[in-house]
Amino acid sequence: MLPQVLFQNRKPRRIATMEEYCRSGGYRVLEDIARGKYSPADICRIVGEAGLRGRGGAGFPAATKWMSVPVDGAYPRYLAANADEMEPGTFKDRMLIHVDPHTLIEGMIIAGYAISASKAFFFIRPSYDSSAMILERELERARQAGYLGDNILGSDYSFDIILHRSGGRYICGEATALLNALMGKRPNPMKPPPYPTVKGLWNRPTVVNNVETLANLPHILRNGPEWYKGLARTKTGAGTKLFCISGKVNRPGCVELPIGTPLREILEEHAGGMRAGSEFKACLPGGASTRYLTKDLLDVEMDFDSLSAVGHRLGTAAITVFDQKTCLVGVTLNLLQFFARESCGWCTPCREGLPYIRDLLWRIENGEGREEYIPMLRQMSRDVWNAYCALAPGAASPVESLLTFFEDEVREHIRLKKCPFSRPR
Amino acid sequence: MPRLVIDDLQIEVPEGTKVIEAAERLGIMIPRFCYHKALGSAGACRMCAVKFIHGPFKGLQMSCMIDAQDGMVVSTTDEEAVAFRRQVIEWLMMNHPHDCPVCDEGGQCLLQDETVSGGHGLRRYPGRKRTYHDQYLGEFIAHEMNRCIHCYRCSRFYQDFAGYRDLGPMQIANRVYFGRFRDGPLESPFAGNLVDICPTGVYTDRSSRYKARRWDLQRVPFLCIHCSLGCSTVASARYREVVRIEARFNESVNGHFICDRGRFAYPYANLADRPRRARVDGEDASLAEAVRAASGRLDQISMNAGPDAVALVASDRCSLETLAVLKRISREKGWRHPAVFPRPDLEHKTRRAVSRLDRRLAVSMRELESADFILAVGIDPVHEAPMLALALRQAFREDAGIVVMDPRPVSAPFDFDHVAIAPAEIGGCLSRITEALSALQADSAAQGKETRRPEAAGPLRADLDSRIAGIVERLRGSRNPVIVCGTDIVRDSTPDRAADLARLLLQLKARPCLFFVLPGPNSFGAVLLAESPGRSFSDVVQDIEQGKVKALLVVESDPFKNFPDRERLERALDRLDLLAAMDYLPTSVVGRAHIVLPTCTVFECGGSFINQEGRVQRVEPVHEGGIPVHQVSGGGHPPRVFSHEVPGGEIEAAWRTALEVAGYTNARDNLSILKIMAEEHPGFARCRDIPTSRSFRVLPDAGDRPPVCEETGDRAAPEAADTLEVVLVDRFFGTEELSGYSPVIQNADSEPLVFLHVRDAEPLGIAHSDWISIALEGGGLEVRAGVSAQMAEGVLVIPRHRLLEWQKLGPVPAQIPFGRISRAGKE
Amino acid sequence: MIPEALKRELLERTARAEHPREMAVDVMYALQGYYGYMSDEAMEEAAEIVGMTPLELEELATFYDFIYRRPVGRYVIRVCDSAVCWMEGYQSVVDHLTSRLGIGLGDTTADGLFSLIPVCCIGYCDRAPAMLINRKVYGELTPEKIDRILQKLATGKPAAGEE
């Protein structure tokens, strides 16, 4: 069995209790903090040394983000845990909450301490209501145990976590949009400067971290940066990663694996290989806003740097696998349908460009395609990169890679004036 | 200061200047939709993409989002940038209807311009267009959401810039919709600016809808004369009819915007019942005949009863030209000097304000926006000087503190501390602030002793003390404080008190800090030309009653609008041997005058006005005058009347006709009028030298001249506990004379309310919006009550609204005993 | 009008928030829970609680996916239509639901019991195809399973728990 860190308390069909978490060493770090073992700067340093990179998709070093909070920044400061997991194919945050919520809670307290925040918001999407209810219950338990609230464990550090249910939109997962959502404003992203770490919620320094990032913190501090780095299979990687595998494999699900585990190994050993009669055609390696990854790259090591070296992104590490019977024009159309619907409507490329692309794809998929749509799609998927935030560039990735790797399939649709695949039932 | 190169041209710009702005300074207009100087960057439309070749940024970037920095080399014509901008246009045009032929924006549409100049001509998008339902947004603005390109200018202006909260973006993705929660008139008195800032035809001016294309209009840089601020506008006319007013940028006065009163008041100039033919004793006459008749009869009366028996009446909507000519002819003919102000106190306060203002003290409205603390006394900004409210809002957005000291239930689009006290208390408060501040100053100058709290003095309420102390502290702590002072409801000495405080602040902060609001568009000019002490219309009435005045020449003034005792006015006018009226409005005076001499509006003859900070602004005529073609032809076109003369075209500027009435026949050209003006006031000599649409201030240089304080015994606060002091006030709509004639404003106006404090209302059993009846001298007044806790006690706030017979009030100042106010049975 | 107790609770929570607007979505959820959907009147009530204008609240209500501005059924069936579920049989789930309920996407059954709306990825890709009914998720849907779920909900028996 591979080392399980975040999932070390995973139990079949039930949630690890606070007691179980504590037995596994949980809240030990918090006790150390309360005893004065770590200063906020110590936490930043250790996490920095561990090389923890943000798990939300962009892979930004967590400690660097914390340290961009100005030393003389105003108080109160805030932490926001991003559990607005809406990237199609991704469900690791949900798994985390349902496996071991207290590793998350302790992680949040540690991050809050690192940036001297007094309040945190746990931002969760509405379709995870059952997860939200678990968290509310466990937060209350943590509060009763003295891990949250005023003067945590007798120290002079006070910190509380408030659960915020989102109204439900993909864009809310974008850090600055999330802050707007928390403040009761329209969740349009806001381009820095100012950075949220300087002026975030109510103009106070605010750090937004993905929940998986936060869940790593207790373990890094408990076992040290060297241990954490050693978990990875690659030199540049650090720690483990939750991979969500879905699509045409035998055992879809969420598994914790060392970062840098080769894609082929993930699919064959941890997802049970391709389904009978299915043959690997392509996958999205990191959620809907990454490029299609083809057979020739099956041996790629799944970490941030290895993927970017071959022109791909780890994203949320949600691997969706497509087989030879799946129409990728259809898949791309579905993805664009999603992105166009979830555009916040702020900037032109996203608001108008994505529906345009969707329309062209729809025509191709439904037998109304024309040859000239191909250069149009190609150009437009480049042009939407000049959008306000990263949503449209993300949406362009599957389109661009479809045209790069599967142009023949697109042309086949146009030539036949219909989809050459039988529709998936 | 960063230095950068844009399209091979070098420019140095201040730190923080956006690249799009730097380019504009070089004369390079980078296409844009969402960017607007006043609203700043949004990064929404992506139209201003340019190529960054060298420097800290590389590649295609939005020029509105990036500050100019040293070493940048930018190309606006780079192929990639041009192609991307063309793509943006295609995206925006996917859903934009091709309804330019029936769209009022056609011809002045930014989207149209960019579409054509960007070269997007062929539709490639095979899909259908999006459609929306439009909303009813009130009488001023038509809504056509299908045209929207989602630049967010409207919501950014409406909510962020102007501070109103009933229009904004709803929905998501490509369904984003700009509108209200439900149909209904926009609440912002600045909503008309949506027409100007919308880059296409989503918001169009209903009052000018379907009337003309931009290129068919006679467009002239113009001036707003609907309050004392003197905002810059563009006036447009077609077929002898004013059809549209737009805001014009003025860096000293109004910035980019104007208020809805200024924008929609213009139809007074197009009224079908405007006096267009001269009349003598009820019979139509030519202008020349009527001038002869007036001239003859005035001379006759002068001869029989002495020239002193002829009085001139003017108003602060008269141009400087007219006021100068009236002064000249009254002096030369020996007639009584024109009475401009309806009440003596208004005349007095305006004169005091003007005499206290100098070049070092006076703050322009734009400068006011950068104040960090503002004390506004005796002013309800939205109602008395609407654009002042918008300026205060900009200061507020930059974290300025604002205190409003006023008895009214003031509401404004910014947060402020309201010190709700009666008019009589305001002056005292100002004095105490000045004393405390100068005492503190003396203390700290002496030995830096501990600060002394201002002592409670006089009969003022105890809770005022801490508020005054707070104001003193804030004035002390601010870098750039400004005192704003109204002249309508305050006591006679209050402008002087405000100026005293401002003089002290000038010493302390070495920055201009005084901003007066005056009663009307040319009040400043009127007092510059007035004899001292000036006379008001009520003096004239008294003189008529005493038989001293037998003839009135009323020039562009309507005492029926602003004299508080209608009965007395009528009796007085009936006693006259001659009532001659010169006006372009169908006023009551015109209706009852023996001789009517129609005049031109400012649109037809231009004119000069001096705003409340002493800024002389002169405008040229927009069109030549005459009855609108539309009215001559009865709606058809072309007209079926053929003659050498323009129908109604013989009418002239009031000053020309006035000169003729006084017998000057050879002093009628423009050069002569400039000469007359310069002779009547040396400050106007510069009028010769400045082009129109430029302005200058006639303020005296600072000098350290000690303020000439006239000791005026202020009326005390009413002693009797069982009366309410009547405070007559202006309202955004309904009280200003010219806009009151605008049908579109009449339709948009709401019912006037008479306000009283909840503690005054409760004993009378009056609740908010109850009908009440007030027994006035001249009869009963039935009106809806506004009951508020956010106002002073002991006052009854009555708007001089055209739908309210407030002229039954009788003699002012007035106290109304509680016993004369009761709930009316009416529902 | 919502019950006084609920209003008091919401006002208290709003008073505790960093800024009243922070509670905008929570208050809408609470009123939606009470009324079933956010009617215009509910919007105005909610706006007052959080100190916003109805328009300001509408800007949010119409932005979000889980605030219903039109009446919906007691059970809102939200079928995931994102890539994995789409690949694994979204269409047949919708076909089955529409024929069983006799309504199209976006509609509500005449008895006011069910509404049928697509939803984007609900994070149950490992158990595709999936759907969300009110707060509960149902995965690995088959026609039989859907029938059982509908049956339970329609007859008022306790809804099937999450597997």
CATH (domain of C127): 3.40.30.10
Nearest chain B Cα to A168, which residue? Answer: B172
Those residues with Cβ within 8 angstroms of residue B594's Cβ, 6 or more apart along the chain or in another chain: B280, B281, B297, B578, B579, B580
Query: What is the rounded distance in angstroms from the CA atom of residue B295 to the CA atom of residue B289?
Result: 10
Task: Tell me how far the alpha carbon of residue B526 is from its chain's centroid.
Answer: 17
Who among B44, B62, B125 is closest to A356 (CB)? B125
pLDDT in tens, B674-706: 999 999 999 998 887 777 667 889 988 765 455
In a domain, C83, yes or no: yes
Contact with chain A for residue B172, Cβ under 8 A: yes
Q: pLDDT at residue C76 above 80? A: yes
Does residue C54 fall inside a structural domain? yes
- What per-residue confidence (pLDDT) applies to A423? 55
| B535 or B291, which is more confident | B291
Residue B174: CB atoms within 10 A of its CB come to 21
Mean pLDDT over the full length of chain B:
93
Q: With an 8 Å Cβ cutoff, are B170 and C58 in contact?
A: yes
Cβ atoms of residues B73 and B55 within 8 Å: yes
Q: Give the minimum alpha-carbon distance from B156 to chain C in angstroms, rounded to a whole number.
A: 13
Fold designation for B3-93:
Ubiquitin-like (UB roll) (3.10.20)
Does residue B454 surpass a pLDDT of 50?
no
Report d(CA C72, CA C80) in Å as an integer. 18
Residue A424 is predicted with a pLDDT of 45
CB contact under 8 A, B125 and A359: yes
User: What confidence tier does B718 reach under pLDDT thresholds 50, 70, 90?
Assistant: low
C8 domain-assigned:
yes
Which CATH number covers residue C17?
1.10.10
| Domain at B723-823: CATH code | 2.40.40.20
The C-alpha angle B666, B671, B674, rounded to 5 degrees, equals 110
Domain A328-416 coded CATH 3.30.70.260: no
Same domain, C41 and C10: yes
At residue B457, the pLDDT reads 47
Whether A347 sits inside 8 A of B127 (CB atoms) is no
How many CA atoms lie less than 13 Å away from B10 in the CB half-sphere? 5
Q: Give the pLDDT confidence score for residue B602 in this predicted structure.
A: 97
Task: Report the pLDDT value the prediction gives residue B447, as an integer from 0 to 100.
Answer: 58
Contacts of residue A144, Cβ cutoff 8 Å, sequence gap at least 6? none
Q: Is the CB of A425 less than 8 angstroms away from the CB of C89?
A: yes
Helix (H) or strand (E) holding A177: helix A175-182
pLDDT, tens digit, 9 for 90 and up, residues C89-121: 999 999 999 999 999 999 999 999 999 999 999
Q: Which domain holds residue C43?
A: 4-61
Question: Which residues of chain C are at the B interface, by a Cβ-Cβ cutoff of 8 Å?
Answer: 40, 43, 52-56, 58-59, 62-63
If asked whether residues C57 and C80 sit together in one domain, one would say: no
Please identify which residue in the block is written with the tokens 């929306």: B132
C69 assigned to some structural domain = no
- Whether residues C31 and C83 fall in one domain: no
Structure tokens at B68: 């100019």
Among residues A339, A333, A387, the alpha carbon closest in space to that of A359 is found at A333
**A221 three-class SS:** helix
Query: Nearest Cβ partner of A88 from C65, C83, C127?
Result: C83
User: What's the pLDDT tens digit per position in B166-203?
Assistant: 999 999 999 999 999 999 999 999 999 999 999 999 99
Give whole-number Cα distances, B45 to A349, A368, B5, in Å.
8, 30, 24
| The predicted structure's pLDDT at residue B534 | 74
Structural domain total, chain C: 2
**Are A351 and B176 a contacting pair at CB < 8 A?**
yes
Q: To which H or E segment does residue B529 belong? A: helix B523-529
- Residue B451's pLDDT is what? 45
**pLDDT at residue B323 tops 90:** yes
Q: Is the confidence at residue C161, as pLDDT, over 80?
A: no
Q: Is residue C66 part of a domain?
A: no
Please name the residue that has the structure tokens 């989602």: B150
Instruction: Please enumerate in sequence order all residues whose Cβ is within 8 A of that of C129, keeping only pairs 6 or more positions apart, or say none.
Output: C79, C80, C85, C88, C89, C90, C92, C93, C139, C140, C141
Domain ranges of chain B: 3-93, 278-341+523-697, 362-516, 723-823
User: How far away is chain C from the Cα of B34, in angstroms, using its nearest Cα?
Assistant: 19
Residue entry with tokens 């502290």: B473
On whether residue C161 sits in a domain, the answer given is: no
Q: Which two tokens stand for residue C114?
A: 């069910």
Check residue A264 and give its pLDDT.
97
Topology adopted by domain A242-323:
Ubiquitin-like (UB roll) (3.10.20)
pLDDT band at C163 (very low <50, low <70, confident <90, very high): very low
Query: Residue B264 has what pLDDT?
Result: 98
Q: What is the Cα–Cα distance from B60 to B54, expressed in whole angstroms?
A: 12
- Verify that C138 and C110 share a domain, yes or no: yes
Q: For B377-400, how does the pLDDT look when each residue is reduced to its tens digit (9 = 90+)?
A: 999 999 999 999 999 999 999 999
**CB contacts, 8 Å: A353 with chain B:** 87, 91
**DSSP secondary-structure letter at B18?**
B
Q: Give the end of a domain, one of C34, C61, C88.
A: C61
Q: Has residue B778 got a pLDDT over 50?
A: yes
Q: So what's the pLDDT on residue B453? A: 47
Average pLDDT score over residue span B201-212? 95
> B362-516 maps to which CATH number?
3.40.228.10
Tens of pLDDT, residue by residue, chain A (425 residues): 689 999 999 999 899 999 999 999 999 999 999 999 999 999 999 999 999 999 988 899 999 999 999 999 999 999 999 999 999 999 999 999 999 999 999 999 999 999 999 999 999 999 999 999 999 999 999 999 999 999 999 999 999 999 999 999 999 999 999 999 999 999 999 999 999 999 999 999 999 999 999 999 999 999 999 999 999 999 989 999 999 999 999 999 999 999 999 999 999 999 999 999 999 999 999 999 999 999 999 999 999 999 999 999 999 999 999 999 999 999 999 999 999 999 999 999 999 999 999 999 999 999 999 999 999 999 999 999 999 999 999 999 999 999 999 999 999 999 999 999 965 44
Which pLDDT belongs to residue A58?
86
Is C120 in a helix, a strand, or coil?
coil
Amino acid at B789: A
Residue at C146 is within a domain: yes
Q: Is the pLDDT of residue B448 over 70?
A: no
Measured between CA atoms, the residue of chain C closest to residue B176 is C63
pLDDT number for residue A1: 65
Least confident of B12-16, B19-23, B688-692: B688-692
What value does the mean pLDDT take over residues B537-543? 94
pLDDT confidence of residue A266:
97
CATH superfamily of A18-230: NADH-ubiquinone oxidoreductase 51kDa subunit (3.40.50.11540)
Residue B689 has a pLDDT of 76
User: In chain A, whose CA is at the least distance from the CA of B86?
Assistant: A383
Q: How many beta-carbon pairs below 8 A join chains B and C?
A: 30
Q: How many of the other CB atoms lie within 10 Å of CB of C54?
A: 21
State which fold the B278-341+523-697 domain adopts.
Rossmann fold (3.40.50)
Residue B348's H or E segment, with its range, is helix B344-356
Determine the average pLDDT of the residues in B745-766. Answer: 95
Q: Alpha-carbon distance B418 to B379, whole Å?
A: 11
Pick among B145, B155, B164, B170 to test the C interface (most C CBs inside 10 A): B170
Look at B670 and C136; give whichever has higher pLDDT.
Answer: C136
**B767 Cβ under 8 Å from any chain C Cβ:** no
Question: Which residues in chain B have Cβ-Cβ distances shorter than 8 Å to A367?
Answer: none
Q: Smallest CA–CA separation between B145 and chain C, in Å? A: 16
Within this chain, domains B3-93 and B278-341+523-697 share the same CATH topology: no
pLDDT of residue B687: 83
From residue A112, how far is each of A108, A198, A246, A385, A401 by CA, in Å?
6, 15, 34, 34, 40
In a domain, C145, yes or no: yes
> pLDDT at position B452, please?
45
Question: Which residue of C19, C50, C86 is in closest CB contact with A202?
Answer: C19
> Could you count the other beta carbons within 10 Å of the beta carbon of residue A233?
18
Which chain A residues contact residue C21 at CB under 8 A?
A: 183-185
* Whether residue C45 is found in the same domain as residue C92: no
Q: Is B170 on the interface with C (CB under 8 A)?
A: yes
Domain boundaries, chain A: 18-230, 242-323, 328-416
pLDDT digits (tens, 9 = 90+) for B39-70: 999 999 999 999 999 999 999 999 999 999 99
pLDDT at B80 over 90: yes
Instruction: State what percent of residues in chain B have pLDDT above 90.
Output: 85
Does the pLDDT of residue B154 top 80, yes or no?
A: yes
Residue C151 confidence (pLDDT) above 90: yes
